[in-house]
Amino acid sequence: MTASGSAVRAPAEALSLGVREARRGHRGANPLVGAVVTAADGMVVASGFHRGRGTAHAEVAALEQFAVTSAASRIPPADVTLWVTLEPCDHTGSTGPCTEAILASGIRRVRYAVADPTGHHGGGSARLRRSGLDVEQIDPAVTAVSGADDLNHRWLVARDAGRPFVTAHLAQSLDGRVAAADGTSQWITGPESRRHAHAVRSRVDAIIVGTGTVVADDPRLTARDAGGHDLTDQPVPVVQGRRGVPEGAALRGGPGGAPRPWIHVPNHEPHAVLDHLRLDHRREAGIAWPNGGDTPSHLLIEGGPTVLAAWLGAGLVDEIFVYQAPLVLGGGPTGLDLPHLTTLTQALRLRLDPAENGGLSRRGDDVLLHYATQ
């Protein structure tokens, strides 16, 4: 939470605080959003961020905190300004419209950085203006200085392409191996890394692996807690590849051995996999995506080196979590193999992502690198 009691003297400062809040959230089905409430003298009196699909939006989180603050300090809602990194929404999804929460709060002044890409006829700002509020979009130059314009770059790339946001996992040794020379791979990383990986699994709609991984490792592909128990939110297993999935494959069974919806895509090409996940095949598998749409909103690539390389090579990976273990295996398969990249100028460029835990953090003895693609 942004510390109350600090003061902002310019729009760029307020937005920068909003961006800092937004980066505390998780990337995925929804954009990162941060909100800050300031008093007439610039004092920060509340803040909030969006924690992920199904949770309160940043504006609502900040307004709830302001309600407590204003009750104690007697700051009138009409005397404050709400700063948001993304235009308040005016539609109902898994939560209600932010415009309704703003109108109910009594706040009369709203400033936002980036227009809502899912909005219609001006998004939420139009409704707020019709209700008599003072609403303005912040100057693009100021937005750029704060970092708000780049906050959801890859999310917007995915949305404009009409595809899910794609996260990838890669657990490897210091010398870049995902298994030893004899094929053993459990466990390269420690329990703290695995807990984080399972938390990410619980946030996605579907988890993708290749048939080779299914045959070799027989993974359950469930999201589990530290005790090995299945979490409430589970991804749909998706297996890509032409080989069949064994009848006794662990991914076929859910809690208590009950049948579990899963999808087999007899193709290796990532775009073909995305096409297969759309409406008709979803119905065939008896799967309802959480967003209620024709296609999932968030995918996780957890396949072997070939699968991950295919999705990266197709430009479809938006973020990568690399779990780097303090091991040197000396042999075995590497985590990625992109033979068509033959010179330095062809290299895929990544950048450390400041969202969630920052680009670089520790997970027990492992190092977690969080990258965003360009």
- Catalytic residue numbers? 59
φ/ψ of residue 70, rounded to 5: -65, -30
- Name the nearest CA neighbour of 212 among 174, 171, 260, 179: 179
Question: Helices 98-105 and 123-130, interaxial angle, to 10°?
Answer: 30
3-state secondary structure of 48: strand
d(CA 162, CA 156): 10
What CA–CA distance (Å, rounded) separates 139 from 192? 43
Under a CB-based contact definition with an 8 Å cutoff, are residues 123 and 116 in contact? yes
The radius of gyration computed from the CA coordinates of the chain, to the nearest angstrom, equals: 22
What distance in Å separates the CA atoms of residue 247 and residue 204, rounded to the nearest whole number? 25
Residue 195 in 3-state DSSP? helix
CB contact at 8 A, 29 and 289:
no
User: Two tokens at 55?
Assistant: 């949770």
Which stretch of DSSP H or E encloses residue 232? none
Identify each DSSP E strand in the chain by its residue range: 34-38, 44-49, 81-86, 109-114, 134-137, 165-172, 206-210, 236-240, 263-265, 298-301, 319-324, 350-352, 360-363, 366-373
Instruction: Please state, in angstroms and rounded to a whole number, the distance separating the CA atoms of residues 49 and 18.
Output: 8
Q: How many other C-beta atoms can be found within 10 angstroms of the C-beta atom of residue 153? A: 12
Measured between alpha carbons, how far apart are the two ends of the chain, in Å?
A: 29
CA gap 54, 93 in Å, rounded = 8
Looking at the chain, how many residues does it have?
A: 374
User: What amino acid is encoded at 131 in this protein?
Assistant: S
Which tokens in the block code for residue 292? 């209620």
CB 214 within 8 A of CB 245: yes
